[in-house]
Amino acid sequence: LTGVPREQRAFQYVLAHAIPGDPRHVLQTFDQWGYRCEHLSCVGPVKGRIVERLLYERAPRRVLELGTYCGYGTVLLAQALPAGARLYTVEGNPHHAAVAEKVIRLAGFDEQTVELIVGPSAEVIPQLREQHGLPKADFVFMDHGKRCYLRDLRLLESHQLLAPGATVLADNVLFPGAPHFLQYAKTCGKYRCKVHRASLEY
């Protein structure tokens, strides 16, 4: 009715209530909106703890996120990175990217730490090394279109963008589901797979 997109409404709430430069408070404020006001397709706090634990275990230097959306997952990833690490995040929807850019900077992360790349993942991935300076990713977080998961994993492989021992974490593979991605990951012989059970966000 207002003509203001849901993502923009959420950002206005975060802008009014979150402490600038405090990533955890920015995430908590998003969570308050998600629980009390409107559902957002963010990672959320429950799955967020899984993401954080894996990041602390792996301590990656170069992280790639596919699917920035409002920037929630980006802030979650960035605040758990070791010192000197860099996060590249890719968003195909320019309206979502505009919101995410504000959220990322509100949380206190500059372009040296987090680079937001706007464009379809299928076009961006082949350009990551030459145009964006990503030699290889130690950690990949997939949270974009589920139908793109398998295609983009194979693109990362074919462009040799996965570092030896890299971790690929994919959200929502059971629901709404990415069955072809899951089958490939389990049967191609390149990966050791683990499914983390979690509830849907909010």
Architecture category of domain 6-188 in CATH: 3-Layer(aba) Sandwich (3.40)
Active site residue 93: no
110 is catalytic: no
Write out pLDDT tens, residues 137-161. Answer: 999 999 999 999 999 999 999 999 9
Which of 93, 143, 152, 157 is labelled catalytic?
A: 143
The DSSP-derived string for the chain is --S--HHHHHHHHHHHHSPTT-HHHHHHHHHHHHHHT----S-HHHHHHHHHHHHHHH--SEEEEE--TTSHHHHHHHHTSPTT-EEEEEES-HHHHHHHHHHHHHTT--TTTEEEEES-HHHHGGGHHHHH----EEEEEE-S-GGGHHHHHHHHHHTT-EEEEEEEEES-IIIII-HHHHHHHHHSSS----PPP-PPP-
Averaged pLDDT for residues 109-126: 98
7 is catalytic: no
- For the segment 74-104, what is each residue's pLDDT rounded down to a tens digit? 999 999 999 999 999 999 999 999 999 999 9
Catalytic residue at 152?
no
Domain ranges of the chain: 6-188
**65 catalytically annotated:** no
2 or 65, which is more confident? 65
Mean pLDDT of the chain: 96
Catalytic choice (31, 146, 157, 190) = 146
Answer whether residue 2 shows pLDDT above 80.
no
Catalytic residue among 7, 31, 47, 172: 172
> Per residue in 30-61, pLDDT tens?
999 999 999 999 999 999 999 999 999 999 99
The predicted structure's pLDDT at residue 131: 97
User: One of 171, 186, 190, 194 is an active-site residue; which one?
Assistant: 171
